Structure 1
Amino acid sequence: MNAVKLVEETRAGLVENVHTGMICGVNERLETIFYAGDPDHYTYYRSAAKPIQALPAFLSNIITKYGLTSEEAALFTASHRGESYHIAALESMLKKLPVREEELFCPCSYPLNAAPREEMLRENKEKRRLYHNCAGKHMGFVTVCRELGYPVEGYWEVGHPLQQQILQILSGLSEIPIAEIKVGKDGCGVPVFAIPLKNMATTYLKLACPDLIKDPILQKAVIQMTGIMNEYPHIIASERFICSVLLQDQNIVAKGGAQGVYCFGLKNERIGFALKVLNGSEDVWPVIVASILEQIGYKNKQTITNLRALKPSVLKNDAGDEVGAVHERFALIAYPENADKQEI
């Protein structure tokens, strides 16, 4: 495993934290054109897989059949953070879809965001499956099972027809045979897949550039899904969180996962990126993605500014005093034979 130093945090000039990892960028010819560290490193998608896992719902007729709004449908792809608008949309979906909350395999939990979690604790509300960040994904799973005649029981097992359908979709989008995809169990209990970072970048290239998808039905579903993600970015995570900030840019399709995994695709530039922070930090994602965009000369400077605002280069303590700094320590390497073909 070849990792490089991505971000370094200092306090009073002394190194306090170092975040190592790897990055890969691919072009529309599926060539690696940018990298830092090992682009072949096998990486679990974690929740970066949610747009792929949501595709069976978008391939079906359930959104129209059950009268879901686009805002509600966005939750199929989301890692919702429990804000009031997330819960309201999920409650509405429960009323419309043929799903009972107790059927969801994701465990009962409190919201990820501190404010709604603390409010629920003050009000002595109990944990619910609906509050789990994967609840929307699981509601999609159960509804698709009923729509396609699959058993609901065991939908979380890798051998279940729904999970096999997702595996087939992933294999096609990533350009990697099913036999080479490694399978584990995700935090919410469903299968999670690991593939080389460059193939992960390829999936997000195709999500951003669906004309690269050969199956016209799948292509149409991807266009609908990513359009909804860009239309309702706050649903995918929440305000002041990297996924929602990036998705405000109509040129970007993006989603992160646990343990430092982040993926995004650029529509006009026709590039897909995937990265892994080896210590699992999500805190430094905005710094890394902003640096990637700067290094490739990305034209929408406002997006970079918005990312920088999430994780400023100056560290301050609780009193607002300047106490340290955040430094990017990587430079993307371009494959010479491929990079000279790419116009950024």
Structure 2
Amino acid sequence: MKPFVRVTRGAVDESWHAGAIAVANEAGEVVAHVGDLDFFTFARSSCKPIQAIPVVESGALEAFGLDDSHLAIMCASHSSEPMHVEKASEILERIGLEPRHLVCGVHMPHSREAYEALVRRGETLSAIHNNCSGKHAGMLAYCRATGADPATYAELDHPLQQAILSTLSELAGVDKAAIRVGVDGCGVPVHALPLRNWARAFSTFVAEDGPHAPAMRRIRTAMGEHPELVGGSRDRFDTDLMRATRGRMVAKGGAEGFLAVIDTKERLAMVVKILDGNARAIPPVALKALEQLGSLTAAELDALAPYVEPAVVNTQGREVGRIIADFSLTRA
């Protein structure tokens, strides 16, 4: 597969990243691409909007007085800022459970500032600070709304995980048996599909009808209206893309170099995979593809300028190179 991102140091191309892109219309047809459409990959946290569909359809939001801000945190890979911890905690409080019921584990927050503030307050990291705590709280809300066992919600044979698997199968247009399942970093099942099928799955978010359309409209609205809850207040590309387009585009990044973008105006969905998993290549690739699709205005590109060709900076804070996307989309 041809590398399509150059990482420069001075006048030298020091490194390259290979990858693939698939763009699908609302009918699920691939209309533009780069690289191998059949590359089989996990979407990792980019799948969270799909994982949230059964939660919405369970009636959990209405049952526990949860609003779209809580739904946004269910779709988040958040930075563990106070607003994120507060929203995830509110979900648990309203369903009568505690952080100890989350099985996502503990890790250092994405936001260094949030972590340093937590240390100064003398607090200890817990599962509520995990970037996936909102997703897990939403999964527990599903259990409370449906009567499913909250103790085993992360197991593949749990009713929620089977509902997610069935929903993904339907949206992606593949049999459940063709979906390969692993364990995500936060402990719940994670799914792998060919890139073309991921594009098809996310394209259903812009369709006007279908059995899951009401839930998907609510999810994309929640994410678009609360982008800072999906990522963070700073240095989060998916958040900044949603901010720059005022929620017209809904974006969700995933570990190991995956990104999903839903364009509600052009009625397209785009998925990006960086083969070596290095997320530094995602922003310039996504913006170059969206520019070639004509999906971004000049003002929006200007607002996202730091991501177009991100600087490589050394320990002195000096710019020593650039990360440059270098490809042309092939149109169907």
Match of 2:237 in 1: 242
Counterpart of 1:276 in structure 2: which amino acid?
A: K
Give me the whole-angstrom Cα distance separating, in 1, the residues matched to 2:90 and 2:25.
40
SS at match of 1:71: helix
Whole-angstrom CA distance in 2 between matches of 1:103 and 1:118: 25
Name the counterpart of 1:310.
307
What residue is the counterpart of 2:32 in the other structure?
A: 34
Q: In structure 2, do the counterparts of structure 1 residues 327 and 120 end up closer, same or farther at CA, with 3 Å as the change threshold?
A: same
Secondary structure (helix, strand or coil) at the match of 2:164 reads helix
Letter in 1 for 2:221: G
Moved more, 230-239 or 110-119: 110-119
Whichever residue aligns with residue 32 of structure 1, its letter is: V
AA of the residue aligned to 1:50 = K
Structure 2: segments with no counterpart, 5+ residues: none
- Asked whether 1:171 is paired with 2:169, we answer yes
Residue type matched to 1:227 in 2?
T
Q: State whether residues 314 and 324 of structure 1, in contact with CA within 8 Å, keep that contact through their aligned partners in structure 2.
A: yes
The alignment status of 1:331 with 2:289, answered yes or no, reads no
Task: Give CA-to-partner distance per residue, 1:171-219, whole Å, 9 cap, x none.
Answer: 1111111111111110001000001101111122111x131x421xx21
Shift of 1:34: 1.1
Q: How far apart, CA to CA, are the structure 1 residues paired with 2:300 and 2:277?
A: 24
Q: Which residue is equivalent to 2:215? A: 221
C-alpha contact (below 8 Å) 1:286/1:307 kept by paired residues: no
User: Does the CA-based 8 Å contact 1:245-1:303 persist in structure 2?
Assistant: no
Aligned to 2:225: 231
* Number of aligned positions between the proteins: 329
Partner SS for 1:153: helix
Q: Give the superposition deviation at 1:124.
A: 4.0
Q: Which moved more, 1:254-263 or 1:123-132?
A: 123-132
The one-letter code sitting in structure 1 at the alignment partner of 2:320 is V
Which stretches in structure 1 are left out of the alignment for 5+ residues?
A: 336-344
Shift of 1:314: 4.2
Asked if 1:157 corresponds to 2:166, the answer is no
Q: Which residue of 2 aligns with 1:339?
A: none
C-alpha deviation, 1:25, in angstroms: 1.0
Say if 1:111 and 1:132, in contact at 8 Å, map to a contact too. Answer: yes
> How far apart are 1:267 and its partner, in Å?
1.7
Given candidates 65, 68, 71, the residue that maps to 2:66 is 68
Deviations 1:289-332 (A, max 9, x none): 11001111224233323333236444443444342222212111
Q: Whole-Å Cα distance in 2 between the matches of residues 303 and 189 of structure 1?
A: 37
Structure 1 residue 12: Cα displacement: 1.6
Q: CA RMSD in A?
A: 1.7
Deviating more after overlay: 250-259 vs 113-122? 113-122
Shift of 1:230: 0.7
Q: Aligned partner of 1:97: which letter?
A: I
Q: Select which of 182, 185, 203 maps to 1:184.
A: 182
- Matched residue type, 1:246: L
* Alpha-carbon distance change, 175 to 301 in structure 1, aligned in 2, over 3 angstroms: farther
Kept in 2, the 8 Å contact 1:24–1:275? The answer is: yes
In structure 2, C-alpha distance between the alignment counterparts of 1:329 and 1:187, rounded to whole Å:
31
Instruction: Return the letter of the residue paired with 1:293.
Output: L
Per-residue deviation, residues 24-47 of structure 1 (Å, max 9, x unmatched): 111233222211110111110100
**Partners of 2:304 and 2:2 in 1: how far apart?**
22
Counterparts of 2:163 and 2:317, CA distance in 1: 51
Output aligned runs, 1:1-344, within 5 Å. Answer: 3-207=1-205, 209-211=206-208, 213-215=209-211, 218-239=212-233, 240-248=235-243, 249=245, 250-310=247-307, 312-335=309-332
Aligned-partner residue type, residue 32 of structure 2: F
Partners in 2 of 1:294 and 1:222 — Cα distance? 26
Asked if the contact 2:44–2:191 (Cα under 8 Å) also holds between the matched residues in 1, the reply is yes
Q: Distance in 1 between matches of 2:269 and 2:146?
A: 32
Distance 1:118 1:54 in 2: 31
SS in 1 for 2:279: coil
